[in-house]
Structure formats: structure tokens, C-alpha cells
Amino acid sequence: MEYRDLAGLIDYHLSSPLMTEEQVHEGCMRAQAYAVRGVVVRPCDLDLAKEWLGNGVRLGSRTSAAPGDATTAVKQFEVRDMLRRGAVDVEAKLNLSKMMSRQFQYIEIELMQLLKTCVEGNAKLTVSVDMSVLDEERLVILCKMAKRSEVAMLSASEYRAEQVEVLLRKCAPYVQLKLMVDGKSLDEVLALKELGVVQFGVRHPAALLDGWKLRLEELKAKEEPSPAVIS
């Protein structure tokens, strides 16, 4: 195992509304030091983050309305603006009000339109949703819509363990899964990785990745041969 086996799956979220620009800068520097996959910043920070980040860290952002209740036209404008400012990863919030209202055709058309905008800008689209509010029927329908609209990834901000199993079973291999894992232990994250989760979002990467470094050092020490004993 190598450090990149986990660090290369981590997206560092620097999107709290209370973060200062100085804190975002510190986060970008930290992201490079930890060699994470990418950062997700607020749309207003994209120009600055593009200057601060090196080529090894992907730059991402997300649509602004937390429950995803902006109109499709507003979301498309936001996505185009993100792409113009250098984002290569886009996280769009699923419209929960339409999902709970069973307006599935509305959601599927929106997903296809947002994906088309991202494809035209050579960016990757991730659809973010609070899975914990969805029952199993809606969860399965979401998987079907994601596959039909050819969305490559779903991101769960809140979720239950049994929902992860449903998502992996119903979406794979066409739609991949990203989970927010703040508060989870290294062993829990590694177990999710083994199940098939391919990306992880964190707001505090130090505990997880410092623990991973220590784990690799311990494994390396065990594998090194003991010095020969001379009699």
C-alpha cells in the first residue's frame, strides 16, 4: 500500500460560509502538502484558489443553494461561471423538493442538462444529495435516474450505512459513489473503500491522513527484516 492509495481519493472541502480568504489559502496549502485529489471551494473563491493551487490538485466548486432548489437555468449559469473560472470538478445539489414531490422527470432532465454543460467544459459532474432524508424507493429511483442521465458520480453528504450498500449495489459500475467522512475513523474509511466507495470528502483532512501515514510506517517497519544476530 502507498500513501496515494487513500490521499488520491480525498477531496478537501473548503466551503464553509464562515471561512475567511486567509483560511481558504491555508487550506489550499494544506491540500498540496497532503497531496489530496482535489479541493472544493466556494464559487467566490475560485479565482484565488486557481492561483494558489499547483497542478497536482484538482479545483472544484459547488452550486450555492444548499437544498438544490434553484431553477435549472440558475444552476446552469452557476456551472458555466465555475468552468470559466477554472473549475474542473462541479458538485451540483440535487433538488430535494422535487425529489420528495416525486417530480422525477424534472430531476432527470435537469441532470442531463447540467451534465451536458460540464461535458462541454471538460469538467466532471458530481450530484450531491442528503441521502438520509430519502426512503429506499427514492434511493433506488435516484440510482436509475443517475444511470439513465449518465451522471458519473453521486455524493452523499448525510447517509446511513444501509443506504451505502443500496447505492453501491444499484449504481455500480455505471455511477460511482463519494461520501463525506468527517468524524469517521481511518478503519471505517478503509472499510468503505473496500466496499467500493471511490472518493471521500473531508473538511478536516489532518486526522485521517496523518493516521494513514502512521499506519503505512508501522506496516513498513513490520516488513523490514530484523538485523542478523551474529553469534
pLDDT tens, per residue, the chain with 231 residues: 899 999 999 999 999 999 999 999 999 999 999 999 999 999 999 999 999 997 889 999 999 877 788 999 999 999 999 999 999 999 999 999 999 999 999 999 999 999 999 999 999 999 999 999 999 999 999 999 999 999 989 999 889 999 999 999 999 889 999 999 999 999 999 999 999 999 999 999 999 999 999 999 998 888 877 665 554
- Share in percent of the chain as helix, strand, coil (round to 5): 50, 20, 30
Helical packing angle, 205-223 and 186-195, nearest 10°:
80
pLDDT of residue 221: 87
SS3 (DSSP) at 117: helix
Distances (CA, A) of 70 to 41, 44, 140: 19, 18, 24
Q: Which amino acid is at 36?
A: V
pLDDT of residue 231: 47
The CATH number fitting domain 1-62+181-216, selected from 3.20.20.70, 3.60.20.10, 3.40.640.10, 2.60.120.380: 3.20.20.70
Residue-range domain boundaries for the chain: 1-62+181-216, 68-177
Output DSSP code: residue 227: P
What is the distance between the alpha carbons of residues 190 and 211, in angstroms, rounded to a whole number?
Answer: 12
- The answer to whether domain 1-62+181-216 and domain 68-177 are alike in fold is yes
CATH of domain 68-177: 3.20.20.70
Closest CA to 11 of 212, 209, 215: 209
pTM: 0.91
pLDDT of residue 227: 61
Long-range (24+ apart) CB contacts under 8 A made by 67-76 are 67/93, 67/95, 67/96, 67/97, 68/92, 68/93, 68/94, 68/95, 68/96, 68/97, 68/128, 68/129, 69/95, 69/96, 69/97, 72/109, 72/110, 72/113, 72/114, 75/110, 75/114, 76/113, 76/114, 76/117
